[in-house]
Structure 1
Amino acid sequence: MTSTLPVETSNFRVEIDEQGIAHMVFQPAGGMPVTDAQGHAELAGVWTKLSAHPQVKVILVRSEGKAFCAGGELGMVEEMLASEAVRQRVMREARDIVRGMIDCSKPIVSAINGAAVGAGLAVALLADISVAARNAKLIDGHTKLGVAAGDHAVLIWPLLCGLAKAKYYLLLCETVSGEEAERIGLVSHVVDADQLQAEALNIAHRLAAGSQSALAGTKRSLNHWLHAAWPAFEASLTAEMMDFGQRDAREGVNAIKEKRTPMFGKASS
């Protein structure tokens, strides 16, 4: 690696190699990557830095943990339940993550191993090319938590896999395997787990060798489909943050902590 990007978080690091590939690596190694408050904030701002970095030609998002990224840690979620100010801050950051990835001029490749949840799933699926292990688990668990699916799914799932499949998986919180995700068009490519990192890196190398202006222009043009769907994203994000102030979200968090099925509509206030 030739250089590192000044990102101060224990959740991920960024290293730039000699070919101009920025490796965004979720960590810790061998552990369960999550996003805490600091990591979520850094994730919101990193795309602008990478887009402007003169050495970066392509971004490869991968994990050295036993999962891709399991989303927001429970402590951050509990802070959102308790504080309107925290909800507003997280809402701004969630918007910046999505817009940052869409507007980033550099192609983004994701290598999805294990579970991808919450902000981790957003990064995995908003990548321009997503490569998943066959045994990967894509989980949008918002409605099971008692909040609307608001951080990326309403924006991009209908474009990737169609409205019928998007409604099925998002309303029911059904887990999507890597193999099923490719079948329905939710990811670009699926490979065996032991081939994941090599295949994603190969794709990143091919992009790094391409015309940067041609790639940027193609990505920018294609992403007008996402800009056209932006009002739907804003509506879902607002609904999600409003729901974090309701008792169903408190019941959802309690159910996770107590390892039981939530009982929405019966939760005490």
Structure 2
Amino acid sequence: MSSIQIKIENGVAWITLNRPETFNSFNREMALTLQSTLDDCESNNEVRAIVLTGNGKAFCAGQDLNEVTSPELNPGFRKILEEHYNPIVQRIRQIEKPIISGVNGVAAGAGANIALACDIVIASEASSFIQAFSKIGLIPDSAGTFFLPRLIGFQKASALMMLGDKVSANEAESLGMVYKVIPIESFMEEVGKIANKMAMMPTKALGLTKRLLNQSMVNNLDQQLSLESDLQIEAAETEDYSEGVNAFIEKRKPVFKGK
């Protein structure tokens, strides 16, 4: 059974972490397979939006500790970070297509931080988030120290990382960690509605917006204004821009193609 399941429907690629017996914790095989799956989604023109979710009760419990404590299987922390998690986060941010994390259950450690690296985080009422690293004497990785303070502020992020408190879905929404919390019984349906909506939008412009947001993390105001000018010109040259303007003038619903 594959550790990563992929399904493409209506322009949406559904990527499911599929090690439910370990709460979808990462081993080397799953991490590398997720990277290659994301690469395939990036190059596939039929894919205009991506959903990352988990099978079973958990979204992702982080690193499989059985792997790192096994003399035969342990790849070592440098390899785990530089070959597993860092490339996953880099792909999530660099793929110029909207990526939604559908957090169906517990998201812990690297699992929580990978979820938070996505463009939109949608959480089930059954989900929770925990920076579990301090509980075993480690530090947050997978870009948690980059994204979490930017999402919720330095003080809250510092406390959650050092104390290792579990954050419920509703608390995560109030803190600004997630976009929306959805009841369990309608979770996947509602995630699908949002993903399908994004796949029908001018996805080239959404990709350029993502590039701008990435650069806003490091740019000063003048640099960001300059980049906005450059990318607005690029957006104005797309087929979707022409379609959007024509549809507005003709008082009809636009049909975007992501071109």
TM-score interval, smaller chain:
0.7 to 0.9
Shift of 1:148: 1.0
Contact 2:107–2:128 (Cα < 8 Å) also in 1: yes
| Structure-2 change in CA distance of 1:131 and 1:160 (3 Å) | same
**Larger-Rg structure:** 2
Contact 2:20–2:58 (Cα < 8 Å) also in 1: no
Output the CA distance in 1 between the equivalents of 2:150 and 2:65. Answer: 30
Q: Residue 12 of structure 1 aligns with which residue? A: 4
Q: Residue 119 of structure 2 aligns with which residue? A: 128
Output the CA distance in 2 between the equivalents of 1:74 and 1:113. Answer: 22
Shift of 1:31: 7.2
SS at match of 1:223: helix
Q: How many residues align?
A: 218
Output the CA distance in 2 between the equivalents of 1:29 and 1:95. Answer: 23
Contact 1:45–1:97 (Cα < 8 Å) also in 2: no
**TM-score of the pair, normalised by structure 1:** 0.75
Shift of 1:79: 4.8
Contact 1:27–1:63 (Cα < 8 Å) also in 2: yes
**TM-score of the pair, normalised by structure 2:** 0.77
- Aligned counterpart in structure 1 of residue 15 of structure 2, from 24, 34, 44: 24
Q: Cα deviation per residue 1:75-119 (whole Å; 9 max; x = unaligned)?
A: 222259x96x63222121221111111101110011112211233
SS at match of 2:112: helix
Shift of 1:41: 2.1
Output the CA distance in 2 between the equivalents of 1:160 and 1:144. Answer: 22
Q: Cα deviation per residue 1:194-237 (whole Å; 9 max; x = unaligned)?
A: 22111111110110000021111111111123466xxxxxxxxx
Q: Residue 142 of structure 2 aligns with which residue? A: 151
Q: Which moved more, 1:114-123 or 1:124-133?
A: 114-123
- The gaps in structure 2 that reach 5 residues or longer are 220-259
Structure 1 residue runs of 4 or more that deviate by more than 3 Å after TM superposition: 28-31, 225-228
Output the CA distance in 1 between the equivalents of 2:24 and 2:101. Answer: 15
SS at match of 1:180: helix
- The gaps in structure 1 that reach 5 residues or longer are 1-8, 229-269
Q: Cα deviation per residue 1:35-93 (whole Å; 9 max; x = unaligned)?
A: 2121122233432332122211000112231111112212222259x96x632221212
Q: Residue 207 of structure 2 aligns with which residue? A: 216
